[in-house]
A = this chain, B = another copy of it.
Amino acid sequence: MPKKNAFYAQSGGVTAVINASACGVIQAAKVEPKIAKVFAGHNGIIGALNEELIDTSKETACTINQLLHTPSGAFGSCRYKLKSLADNRAEYERMIDVFQAHNIGYFFYNGGGDSQDTTYKLSEYCKQVGYPLQCIGIPKTIDNDLPFTDNCPGFGSVAKYVAISTKEAALDVASMSASSTKIFILEVMGRNAGWIAASAGLAAEQEGDAPHMILFPEITFNREKFLTQVNRTVKKYGYCVIVASEGTQDQSGQYLSGSSTKDAFGHLQLGGVAPNLAEMIKRKFGYKYHWAMADYLQRSARHIASKTDVDQAYALGEAAVALAVDGKTGVMPTIVRGKGKKYSWSIGEASLSTVANVEKKLPRDFISRDGWHITDRAREYLSPLIRGEDYPPYKRGLPVYARLKKVMTTKKLGKYRQD
């Protein structure tokens, strides 16, 4: 059987471990007899449309190995959602033209819900037109909101970063609170689902530990209740540490961040819950505050990535290759949690027809009854995901991250003109 090339692309917001999945794909493909080269889309799926294919075989084995500990999307990512077949058939045709021109028989798309949707649409289209392409999704999202997989690569490392940062900043506030700052608010990502905010709860290991309050997108924000709880906490512990999701909303569905910018998917660009809350508290009680906005730092913090997360990201990349050469299409490898008391995981498989565009929110029983904390159930789920430290190598005090040559394969088609 003649070898075919593979196409791999990164999609959407990047993570600390998406390159570990890329590494898994490339290294597994290298020893796979059915696969010749792996071409990576330059800036994601746009690279396929523009025929900008990075020839990963031109990178050294050492560089490919460095992907395992390099954050962000080494090949470039993008926020670009393929329209439906009815709306833009030309995009699908173009992609197949590019794949055909470069003898590509395997398609790996590393992303969140939107990307799994794209992978599914493409697999359906290929079946329709009879182009032999094994379309495999590889899960990735710090938001941890994909269904059918126990968790998503990228999330465990954000969770670890957020839990550690909360723990550390809280010690800072605690030591100064008698005469200075009494309120500290850390704003974290998670537009619609409170998984990241919840992970901060792991920092609280004993009674009285921070965070004292967590604001989830799943719990409607009530100003009066919030202020009462803040004051109660300050009276009890001398200070109050709050972790707030960027997606915190009031009962009218208004985001507390009050920003109105939208991104390419039409999602609201958020930011600014923390300063709003801090001012609210200051006006009511006069407490001195500090707040932090982790923003990209949280999802790129490879220096403190979770070993579990890195291992899973790599394994999912490897598994995607195995599924593809096995003739599967329209599927995504998943993480399946073992049943035993001791945490274990294995690789499963889900059909993209059911995965695409379903959002997994934080279950209500992961949030305490009063809405300010996580429950033991949440801890049980979250704790294993942040375990293990997978430190990158360092040189002169800084982590050594991969620098790719990004050699593009020669174009064979004309320029793509978008409608």
Contacts and interface: CB of A to CB of B under 8 A. Distances in A.
A137 interface: no
A296 B396 contact: no
Contacts of A303: 164, 168, 304
A302 B169 CA distance: 10
B179 A80 contact: yes
A1 interface: no
Interface stretch (A123-131, A213-221, A271-279): A271-279
Interface stretch (A100-108, A257-265, A322-330): A257-265
A73 B388 CA distance: 27
Interface in A387-416: 387-389, 391, 394, 396-399, 401, 403
A368 interface: no
Contacts of A304: 303-304
Interface in A302-332: 302-304, 306
A243 to B, nearest CB: 12
Interface in A175-216: 175-176, 178-180, 184, 186, 202-203, 205-206
Interface string A252-294: 0000001001011101111110011011000000001011111
Interface in A44-80: 44, 46, 70-80
B397 A165 contact: no
B172 A296 contact: yes
Nearest to A167: B398
- A contact residues, range: 35 or more
A174 B403 CA distance: 12
A248 interface: no
Interface string A32-47: 0000000000011010
A171 interface: yes
A14 interface: yes
A279 B268 contact: yes
- Of A79, A300, A403, most B-chain CB atoms within 10 Å: A300
A176 B77 contact: yes
Interface string A351-385: 00000000000000000000000000000000100
14 contacts: A14-B172, A44-B179, A74-B175, A78-B176, A79-B179, A160-B397, A163-B397, A168-B296, A169-B300, A205-B398, A268-B279, A270-B278, A290-B295, A297-B297
Give the 6 A-B CB pairs with smallest separation, nearest first. A270-B275, A386-B397, A73-B175, A72-B171, A292-B295, A168-B300
